A = this chain, B = another copy of it.
Amino acid sequence: MARKFQTPIIIVNFKTYSEATGQRAVALARKAEKVTNEEGVSIGVAPQFADITTVAKAVDISVFAQHIDPIAPGSYTGHVLAESVKEAGAIGTLINHSERQLKLSDVNEVIRMTRKNGLLSVVCANNPVISAAVATLKPDIIAIEPPELIGTGIPVSKAKPEVVTGTIRLVREVNPKVTILCGAGISSGEDVAAALKLGTKGVLVASGIVKAKDQYSILREFAEATKP
């Protein structure tokens, strides 16, 4: 059943980086699979829509879409259908990333669609208050990403630990179950360890891995940092 997953988890968002497009998306996913096997740690990848099929065929780790639209099958040119990314091999999707934000009612509708299609929902939220709002919609996972730290290499777990602990506290008031990940600025094993120590169950990372000179080594560093 697709909506199960194991924590701690590291989800690598490939964005539209050239270092993670097409053949290079497959290559990066293979490194993630290698580290998963070597370290026994759960690593997921979120490639571009057009790469989901190829990546999902090439590796045996969790593949996520980066976004889906709040639509059912039908007359919607240029939209992203839950059923389509699922058949392509995705087991879940990012939702409401700060670079692809949704209207409130669409966040709810998309979560509903992931549920209907047996997909994992990973909803991004900017701050503790918004995380709590999202938590009431009962997604599987919330990733807290202060947009001002995205791509900076300054990890939220260090720069603003109170954002992480505040999020956990507010979220738990309304939802005792949802898994909380830490995003934005994570670029070393130390950052990952800090994020877990604050009480999260993993990280959502992009440039920290994708743009690294040695993607494999840094993936390994991340994976090792998730171990007790």
Contacts and interface: CB of A to CB of B under 8 A. Distances in A.
Interface of A: 13, 15-18, 21-23, 48-54, 65-67, 71, 73-81, 83-85, 87-88, 90, 94, 96-105, 107-108, 125-127, 129-130, 132-137, 150-151, 170, 173-174, 206-207
A73 B48 CA distance: 11
Contacts of A77: 13, 15-16, 66-67, 94, 97-100, 206
5 contacts: A21-B83, A48-B49, A49-B50, A78-B80, A78-B94
A13 to B, nearest CB: 6
A37 to B, nearest CB: 25
A129 B108 contact: yes
Contacts of A88: 22, 50-51
Contacts of A129: 108, 136-137
Contacts of A96: 104
Given A51-B53, A77-B13, A101-B104, A87 B21 contact: yes
Contacts of A135: 136
A169 B188 CA distance: 44
Contacts of A52: 50
Contacts of A67: 77-78
